Structure 1
Amino acid sequence: MLGNKGWMIALTAVVLSAGSAHAQIKVGITMSASGPGAALGQPQSKTVAALPKEIAGQKITYFALDDESDPTKGAQNARKLITEEKVDVLIGSSLTPVSLPLIDIAAEAKTPLLSLAAAAILVAPMDDKRKWVFKVVPNDDIMANAILKYIAKTGVKTLGYIGVSDAYGEGYYKVLSEAAPKLGITLTGHEVYARSDASVTGQALKILATKPDAIFVASAGTPAVLPQKALRERGYKGPIFQTHGVATEEFIKLGGKDVDGAIFTGEAFTVVNDLPADSPFRKTTAAFVDAYKAANGNIPSIFGAHLWDSMTLVEHAIPGALKVAKPGTEEFRAALRNEIEKTKDLALNNGLSNMTPDNHNGYDERSAFLIEVKDGAFHMVK
């Protein structure tokens, strides 16, 4: 994993390929390519080379930095990209805690920010600061409510909870604690752990002691494997539900047989091959996969799709913004923000996007697909 300096060196070819002699639009990206969020940030870092180099006749220059999964570093990166590189749009970060400080920075600079993280708190409630922020990952409340409805249908009455001790995990717990009782489900506990923890044995034992019908794990990337392995290794055979943060091959490889059977609500990208042949998501995913394979030689993950989708929103907004002002100006940044807010029925890897002035996530439960880990792969639950 590369540090900040090494990461900039690695991206030199990408920046140069975009060119600087002609009119250009500058895109600043900060992501967690190292640290606890690397399982999310690494796929995003590899996606940079696959992004479009020209849009609406304008050269696109990308400046990408590693924030090392650290909120302070993320804020430093954002300020550097805005003040020194004078970017027209800011994308990042991979994690909710690292993205939160960027809200104030983007609002202060009047620069559109597209977060790659998941928590609803990044875009809601709408206010003068969040009006500059958009998010392509479906809000955790959309995903949580959809999975809870499924859990209730299976007859579960008591549900244990283990989640990461940050805004992502607590965001999920908040939704679960509010919605579960309405569906006749009682939460039996609230156990948390840090993404960097090497063991969650204590938390697993405490939840098992409550004898729940099923257990919900609110985590993302490879850290989400720990609770599930701990539960299975201690003989728990009941249902385990996860979040869309586990939609990565690394989760399956690291978890092995212990994560088989895990069920979660996730994005179209993860189960695109199970969707109807005429689904608009198939074309969207194919474009991303082809570009990523051409740049990296392998298949991308949903976390890379977060960056791709963010740039897709920007791509659709650029033509309208160019009619208002030239890149590099405050007027262009404002116009870009306004155009992103007008997004309608745009099929992204993450779902069907319909932005409004009050909703900068733009999804509903039509974008929440019920997914199961089965025989070492992700499939739609039938």
Structure 2
Amino acid sequence: MRMKKLAVVFSGAALLASQAALADITVGVSLSSTGPAASLGIPEKNVFAILPTKIAGENVKYIVLDDATDPSAASKNARKLVSEDKVDVLVGSASTPASVAIAEVAFESKTPQIAISPVNVPADKNAWVFRTPQNNALMAGALVDNMKARGVKSVGFIGFSDVYGEDWLNVVTPLLAQAGIKLAAVERYARNDTSVSGQVLKLVSARPDAVLVAASGSPAALPQTALVERGYKGQIYQTHAAVNQTFLNVAGKAAEGVIMPVGPVVAAKQIPDSHPSKKLGMEFVQKYEEKYGAGSFVSFAGHAFDAYRLIEAAVPVALKKAKPGTPEFRKALRDALESNKEVVATHGVYSMSPTDHFGLDQRGRVLIQVVGGAYTLLTK
């Protein structure tokens, strides 16, 4: 009889333990901590070490893997995270090609993904993919408005020969046409190229009033320095994926004067006090730099933190329908992410919908210019 009672006690304890484990929320993260996008992935990875470990009273576990800026590795990471670790949500990656690879797994496994690169995917897969970076069209609009205000009549384009570069070309081309600005030349290069002298020679020969570089991280500095070395005197524009200290370090004096669209957190101290992201942005930058050193914050860390903000807002809603670790919870979390409204974060205010999984409006962008080797808010 005593043995039977003990068995009941132990089985009850085991049941409680399994229920407790079931309540844990597991976040699977694949980031480019190495490879060409490491200058993006490392600060993003840093964020997960300083995030809260509870949401809505439930424990949160973060599993962070390196995909080395390799789409194949990103896919492998995502498959491990969903099949072995049974994650409730996928986060990543730093590069657009790797994020596309993760999106395939998110769709197949019916696991929500929060991409921290501005990835575009087909409509059926898009149902499971949300993003924290601003969509390229939003940022391109800010650049074209600036070009028009400066009287730019022609633009040369050089971008990555992958989905990031192509998406920028696709979104900026009609905007330029609407503004009456000619696309004078188009060139491409690979993320791991060590020279773009041939492409830059063609751009300079076309004599455009401005050049737009659609690249990210330190590889974005390659066309920047090559253009300056060739004596190009027109205005150079870069995208929000190039905004980090590594770009400034590699480009050096060649970066002076470049104009870039960014999220408000990059200029948190300079934006008006009335901006909804100012207070949170300044608090997060302070917390990040207390951990990793003064001047260590870059915008990509904000994208990772904003992924947490979206999850934090969605989890209480999803918990009303299902327990973590189940297909039902993953579906409920997807639905809750899609219904997120006015979620204040460092890069702006997110309001998702079935037709918009980026969720940011004009509150999510400002223009900056490199002046004296530092990012300065551009007010006109």
- TM-score where L is the length of structure 2: 0.91
Higher mean C-alpha displacement, 266-275 vs 346-355: 346-355
Contact 1:146-1:365 at 8 Å conserved across structures:
no
Alignment counterpart, residue 339 of structure 2, candidates 334, 339, 342: 342
Contact 1:321-1:339 at 8 Å conserved across structures:
yes
Contact 1:263-1:370 at 8 Å conserved across structures:
yes
Alignment counterpart, residue 170 of structure 1, candidates 121, 141, 166: 166
**What is the rounded CA distance, in whole Å, between the counterparts of 1:302 and 1:370 in structure 2?**
13
- TM-score where L is the length of structure 1: 0.91
Q: Post-superposition shift, 1:323? A: 1.0
**What is the rounded CA distance, in whole Å, between the counterparts of 1:195 and 1:258 in structure 2?**
19
Higher mean C-alpha displacement, 103-112 vs 222-231: 103-112
Q: Post-superposition shift, 1:306? A: 1.1
Does residue 306 of structure 2 align to residue 302 of structure 1? Answer: no
Which residue type is aligned with residue 161 of structure 2? Answer: S
Structure 2 counterpart of 1:269: 265
Alignment counterpart, residue 320 of structure 1, candidates 312, 317, 327: 317
Which residue type is aligned with residue 203 of structure 2? Answer: I
Alpha-carbon deviations, 1:198-239, whole Å to 9, x = none?
Answer: 111111111000111111111111111111111111111111
Q: 1:35 to 1:263 in 2, by over 3 A?
A: same
Q: 1:22 to 1:89 in 2, by over 3 A?
A: closer
Q: Post-superposition shift, 1:21? A: 6.1
**What is the rounded CA distance, in whole Å, between the counterparts of 1:51 and 1:22 in structure 2?**
21
Alpha-carbon deviations, 1:283-320, whole Å to 9, x = none?
Answer: 22133224323443443211111111001100111111
**What is the rounded CA distance, in whole Å, between the counterparts of 1:295 and 1:84 in structure 2?**
31
Provide the aligned length of Structure 1 versus Structure 2. 359
Structure 1 counterpart of 2:245: 249
Which residue type is aligned with residue 210 of structure 2? Answer: A
Structure 1 counterpart of 2:7: none
* SS of residue matched to 1:275: coil
Alpha-carbon deviations, 1:126-159, whole Å to 9, x = none?
Answer: x332111100101111111221121012111111
Structure 2 counterpart of 1:224: 220
**What is the rounded CA distance, in whole Å, between the counterparts of 1:168 and 1:88 in structure 2?**
27
**What is the rounded CA distance, in whole Å, between the counterparts of 2:149 and 2:40 in structure 1?**
31
Does residue 182 of structure 2 align to residue 186 of structure 1? Answer: yes
**What is the rounded CA distance, in whole Å, between the counterparts of 2:216 and 2:89 in structure 1?**
26
Contact 2:352-2:358 at 8 Å conserved across structures:
yes
Structure 1 counterpart of 2:60: 60
Larger radius of gyration: 2
**What is the rounded CA distance, in whole Å, between the counterparts of 1:98 and 1:359 in structure 2?**
21
Q: Post-superposition shift, 1:22? A: 8.2
Structure 2 counterpart of 1:48: 48
Contact 1:56-1:319 at 8 Å conserved across structures:
yes
**What is the rounded CA distance, in whole Å, between the counterparts of 2:275 and 2:365 in structure 1?**
15
Q: Post-superposition shift, 1:360? A: 0.5
Structure 2 counterpart of 1:202: 198
Alpha-carbon deviations, 1:82-112, whole Å to 9, x = none?
Answer: 0000001100111111111222211121111
Contact 2:276-2:349 at 8 Å conserved across structures:
no
Does residue 342 of structure 2 align to residue 355 of structure 1? Answer: no
Which residue type is aligned with residue 54 of structure 2? Answer: E
Which residue type is aligned with residue 313 of structure 2? Answer: H
Structure 2 counterpart of 1:133: 129
Contact 1:22-1:59 at 8 Å conserved across structures:
no
Q: Post-superposition shift, 1:379? A: 1.4
Contact 2:22-2:323 at 8 Å conserved across structures:
no
Structure 1 counterpart of 2:372: 375
Q: Post-superposition shift, 1:265? A: 1.3
Contact 1:50-1:294 at 8 Å conserved across structures:
no
**What is the rounded CA distance, in whole Å, between the counterparts of 1:341 and 1:378 in structure 2?**
33
Q: 1:309 to 1:381 in 2, by over 3 A?
A: same
* SS of residue matched to 2:124: coil
Contact 2:268-2:282 at 8 Å conserved across structures:
no
* Percentage of identical aligned residues: 42
Alpha-carbon deviations, 1:149-180, whole Å to 9, x = none?
Answer: 21012111111111111111111111122221
**What is the rounded CA distance, in whole Å, between the counterparts of 1:198 and 1:168 in structure 2?**
19
* SS of residue matched to 1:370: strand
**What is the rounded CA distance, in whole Å, between the counterparts of 2:334 and 2:265 in structure 1?**
26
**What is the rounded CA distance, in whole Å, between the counterparts of 2:212 and 2:138 in structure 1?**
16
Higher mean C-alpha displacement, 132-141 vs 294-303: 294-303
Higher mean C-alpha displacement, 334-343 vs 73-82: 334-343
**What is the rounded CA distance, in whole Å, between the counterparts of 1:176 and 1:52 in structure 2?**
38
Q: Post-superposition shift, 1:113? A: 0.3
**What is the rounded CA distance, in whole Å, between the counterparts of 1:272 and 1:286 in structure 2?**
6
Q: Post-superposition shift, 1:343? A: 1.4
Higher mean C-alpha displacement, 152-161 vs 75-84: 152-161
**What is the rounded CA distance, in whole Å, between the counterparts of 1:203 and 1:197 in structure 2?**
12
Contact 2:265-2:282 at 8 Å conserved across structures:
no
Structure 1 counterpart of 2:101: 101
Q: Post-superposition shift, 1:51? A: 1.4
**What is the rounded CA distance, in whole Å, between the counterparts of 2:94 and 2:258 in structure 1?**
23
* SS of residue matched to 2:354: coil
Q: Post-superposition shift, 1:45? A: 1.4
Structure 2 counterpart of 1:36: 36
